[in-house]
Amino acid sequence: MKRIRTAKGRKPSSTRWLERQLNDPYVRRAKAENYRSRAAFKLIELDERFRLLKGVKAVVDLGIAPGGWSQVVRRKVPQSAVVGIDLLPTDPIDGVTILQMDFMNDDAPDRLKEALGGDADLVLSDMAANTVGHQQTDHLRTMALVEAGLLFATEVLRPGGTYVAKVLAGGADNQLVAEMKRHFATVKHAKPPASRKDSSEWYVIAQGFKGRESDKGSGWAGPAEGP
């Protein structure tokens, strides 16, 4: 295991982060395989389990920076069109249209739809709210992103499409999962091996979009299972 000497002016937490990076096999694999981040392997592992990328032609990547997930999509499905959005700058990726703006801005969904130019087969969301250290507040902020992504997904997905979103430990709450089940044939939670064991992140995978014709009625559906 590689150790980092505590440099003058460097916080112990920064030293621990550097040591973790140097000793992380996924970080080494990402560098060796020319992925922009270790997060690429989370999508690779989710795809191996749920076959997310099979036959996809159009993908939306919410929270694209630094671009690892879109790299995976383009490598596995080279003919696919990808549109991504992030508040942070993202270096260009061949075959990917990147918007630098906040997805929560009112005009962001329309900008994405315009760039997409049609329906999508897959909406991916690796968005994460900035944490404030208060568990309930952090959970609510993350669920707001998941819910916003779900609304967008129901507006752009083709029938049979998939929505994947990052959630926190415990998964999406019952009401949100129930709403997903109203729109999708199956809703499951998963924690890919590439997610660090000490991380609270999980992913919710909603597959088999029922189509916009089924989006009738109002209110939340009944109780649903957790992870």
Return the percentage of the chain with pLDDT > 90, whole number: 67
What integer pLDDT is reported at residue 99 of this predicted model? 98
Which residues define the annotated binding site for S-adenosyl-L-methionine?
67, 69, 86, 102, 126
Residue spans of alpha helices (H) in the chain:
12-22, 25-32, 40-50, 68-76, 108-116, 135-156, 174-183
Q: Assess contact for 202 and 169: CB atoms under 8 A.
A: yes
Return the number of other C-beta atoms located less than 10 Å from residue 57's C-beta: 14
Q: Which amino acid, one-letter code, is at 27?
A: V
Q: Of the candidates 103, 82, 102, 101, which has an alpha carbon nearest to the alpha carbon of residue 93?
A: 82
pTM: 0.83
166 a catalytic residue = yes
Active-site residue, selected from the candidate residues 8, 166, 188, 216: 166
Q: Is the pLDDT of residue 15 over 50?
A: no
Domains of the chain in start order, with CATH, are: 40-214 (3.40.50.150)
Which residues define the annotated binding site?
67, 69, 86, 102, 126
Q: What is the pLDDT of residues 109-125, one digit of tens each?
A: 999 999 999 999 999 99
Q: Is the pLDDT of residue 71 over 90?
A: yes
Q: What is the pLDDT of residues 197-216, one digit of tens each?
A: 878 889 999 999 999 864 44
What integer pLDDT is reported at residue 168 of this predicted model? 81
What's the CA gap between 115 and 102, in Å, rounded? 15
Q: Of the candidates 188, 114, 109, 111, which has an alpha carbon nearest to the alpha carbon of residue 155?
A: 109
